[in-house]
Structure 1
Amino acid sequence: MADRRSRPQLHPAAWWLWALGLGTAATRTTNPLLLALLLTVSAYVVTTCRPDTPWSRSYSAFLKLALAVLLIRLGFVVVLGSPVPGTHVLVTLPELPLPDWAQGIRLGGAVTAEGLLFACYDGLKLATLLVCVGAANALASPSRLLKTLPGALYETGVAVVVALTFAPHLIADVHRLRAARRLRGRPDRGVRGLLQVGLPVLEGALERSVALAAAMDARGYGRTADVPAPVRRTTAALTLGGLLGVCAGTYGLLTAAGGAYGVPVLLAGVAAAVAGLRLGGRRSPRTRYRPDRWTPRACLVAASGGTVAALLVVAASADPAALRPGVVPLTAPALPLWPAASVLLGLLPAFTHHRPRESS
């Protein structure tokens, strides 16, 4: 008999913070060895910790999307050329002459190894970022994530959750219908199979949309409580001022001249935005049944992703040549040891994950 006592589920925001930490680390480097290590870490954690739910199957779709992005980036370099000068010409394509007003743009011409390698590094960085977002989609329940949002962001959160759950349900419908067609001995590949699968998938999507609209209407979605006008104006001022402060503080942190005022302005903007969201929550009175709580394990998972991001940011400032290897001249990238060890900290959620054990 299975043990019905289960551990509390991990807070969905912890998975998103962990994934965004890995994604932030990916934006700080173009080293293919570090990016491959980030991909391996995210894949291992997803394989170990993801639940058996429709949205958890979307990770493979993000992997295919990341591969498509990488191939498109390489295709642009082959067709349109690269701004990186190179001497190792791999192939010379017929070049199409362009008018004078299109100076700086070319179609065809010489394809160099340096240009392809630079495009590969750049495309791999974007692909890794997409895979990290896919890991968050596969690990965190969108409906549980919606419950954790402040009341002021509830309507926006519903729209985002509906958009995020559309692709996983669509993929689940395609797998289910293709399996049913194979069991009946009917083709599930090619143009004919795609057309015969597409109509039931579209019908299922429309039925879910109608059911979702009816459920939202029955639950009073969009209804707001009356709040005094001064509270509404204060909420708008705090939220707008807080967002402007966050933008100004972030700009100060990214520029050398704004290092002195960046952190205070950023902290003040975050405080004002949080206060505005708390006040704005009065317009959307809601109750939560068994809300998710931040457990020590959730804090550990979120901290592991944040630590990876912070250490890679420090490494990018301390040794930029190691995290952004050059392509002119052609040299093999080296694996920096302590940034690689920092990326391995992202494996921590896999070792803190406990599957329910069965007892006789």
Structure 2
Amino acid sequence: MTDHGARTGRGTARTGTPGSGTLAKERPLRAPEARRADALHPGAWWVWALGLGTAASRTSNPLLLALLIVVAGYVVAARRSDAPWARSYGAFFKLGLLVIAIRLGFTVFLGSAIPGTHTLFTLPEVPLPDWAKGVQIGGRVTAEGLTFAFYDGLRLATLLICVGAANALANPARLLKSLPGALYEAGVAVVVAMTFAPQLIADVQRLRAARRLRGRPDRGLHGLVQVGLPVLEGALERSVALAAAMDARGYGRTAAVPARVRRITAVLTLGGLLGVCAGSYGLLAAQGAGFGLPVLGAGLAAALAGLRLGGRRSVRTRYRPDRWGVRAWLVAGSGVAVAGLMIWAASADPAALAPGVVPLVAPELPLWPALAVLIGLLPAVVAPVPVRGGPAPGDPADRTAAPAAPAASKTKKTKELP
């Protein structure tokens, strides 16, 4: 028999159909395709995005904020799938632009508390009574006030864009599977709320494309009414189907646990969540970095203990749970590293991360914080590559094909005649 394959050295791979004997050229090691077996844990994407958001909350430097937006956008473009929920990043980006516009509009029409000497224009000022001192409608608009408003709006927009990156990269259905049993009911509500907006956007795009193909208007008030009614009807049908599916699967069924365990669980969970809130506020505040981390750690420990005890009430099981592998640690660690380095830079050199507007000076890009932000690009290299044009990993349509069996030999055996 002839050998239809050949062994390759390290760094080579076989391409083509099995048994073709075609060898690929040597190529460097790269991330695998995001199938069910090696798909990244959705919690890693959220840890990475929250790390970038924490870094954005520590600075008002527009150059660093723009770099964070570029990092998040590049990772989304490199590792986003074709699922409907993965198309929500553009909506969050537009929402960030709207936040900046609203923040600038408030400054123009309601004034700013930042004193300035560079007057751009003056609006008619509305006189207010004495009890409304400190409130201004119209008046002088300065470059310093607009600059401060732009910095503040850009920081909030960056936070929204980081959250949008997590929504576009993390599969909400697989994220629900990874939640502890005590948070299953609340997790279902959150996941349904998170998936409603992307599905709504996909329905609007589909209906507008269908109306354009039929030569009907899809813009203006008339087009909005004609598109809005089918979208709302489809959302209602999905809600009824989801309710029926949840009822058929016994949603809300719990097991009986002792009253003492329930009380201990409630105390640990509530106390832990309060500690997490206080620690998070300490990390985000400018003066609370000292007590924020210990309080956050103690709160997380208490909350995890409460959630573990509360999981006894859940009677559901997990089918093929997601694994937190090495790639998930690298993705989550890159976000944590960006957040930690930015917190350290904010305490070491606060002037570089918060450029002043009085007097009005051009912001400068600090070297070490910029290099720290670039660590957030690591998921674009180590995260599994999404399969374009196919189902997302974890979806019902995703079925990892088994390797094909080798073709049977068509040679016939002949009997020996006596």
Give the TM-score normalised by the residue count of structure 1: 0.94
Measured after TM superposition, the shift of residue 232 of structure 1 is 1.0
Instruction: Name the count of aligned residue pairs.
Output: 357
The residue type equivalent to 1:240 in the other structure is L
* Match 2:375 to one of 325, 331, 345: 345
Alignment of 1:207-356 (within 5 A): 207-247=237-277, 249=279, 259=290, 264-355=294-385
Displacement, 1:258? Answer: 9.4
1:81 corresponds to 2:118: no
* Cα RMSD after superposing both structures: 2.2
> 2: CA distance between counterparts of 1:243 and 1:219?
30
Deviation of 1:32 after TM superposition, in Å, equals 0.3
Aligned to 2:132: 102
* Greater fraction of residues in helix: 1
Runs of 4+ deviating beyond 2 Å: 1-7, 240-259, 261-270, 353-358
1:119 has 2:149 as partner: yes
Distance 1:5 1:103 in 2: 59
Give the match's secondary structure for 2:355. coil
Q: How far is the alpha carbon of 1:243 from its aligned partner?
A: 2.8
Determine helix, strand or coil for the equivalent of 1:96.
coil
Is the CA contact (8 Å cut-off) linking 1:2 and 1:357 kept in structure 2? no
Per-residue displacement from partner, 1:2-48 (whole Å, max 9, x unpaired)?
A: 99994611100000001000000000000000000000001111011
Percent sequence identity over aligned pairs: 74
How has the CA–CA distance of structure 1 residues 263 and 61 changed in structure 2, closer, same or farther, with 3 Å as cutoff?
A: closer
1:48-98 Cα distance to aligned partner (Å, 9 max, x none)? 100100001111100111000000000000000000000000000000001
Quick check: which has more Rg, 1 or 2? 2
The one-letter code matched in structure 2 to 1:132 is C
Amino acid at match of 1:325: P
Q: Distance in 2 between matches of 1:180 and 1:115?
A: 46
Structure 2 CA distance for partners of 1:2 and 1:104, relative to 1, 3 Å: farther
Read off the aligned partner of 2:214 and give its amino acid letter.
R
Tell me the amino acid that sits aligned with residue 149 of structure 1. L
Show CA shifts across 1:318-350 (max 9, x none): 000000000111110000001001101111111
Pick from 57, 76, 101 the counterpart of residue 46 of structure 1: 76
Matches within 5 A, 1:88-237: 88-237=118-267
Contact 1:18 1:303 in 2 (8 A): yes
Counterpart of 1:277 in structure 2: which amino acid?
L
Deviation at 1:236, TM superposition (A): 1.4
Q: 1:201 to 1:132 in 2, by over 3 A?
A: same
Work out whether residues 123 and 140 of structure 2, in 8 Å CA contact, stay in contact via their aligned partners in 1: yes
Separation in 2, partners of 1:197, 1:263: 49
Q: TM-score, normalised by structure 2?
A: 0.81
CA distance in 2 between partners of 1:250 and 1:350 (Å)? 27
Q: Deviations over 1:289-336 (max 9, x none)?
A: 111101111110010111001100000000000000001111100000
Q: Which runs of 5+ in 1 are unaligned?
A: none
Residues 1:255 and 1:119: Cα distance change in structure 2 (over 3 Å):
closer
Residues 244 and 175 of structure 1: CA distance in aligned 2, closer, same or farther (over 3 Å)? closer
Aligned to 2:62: 32
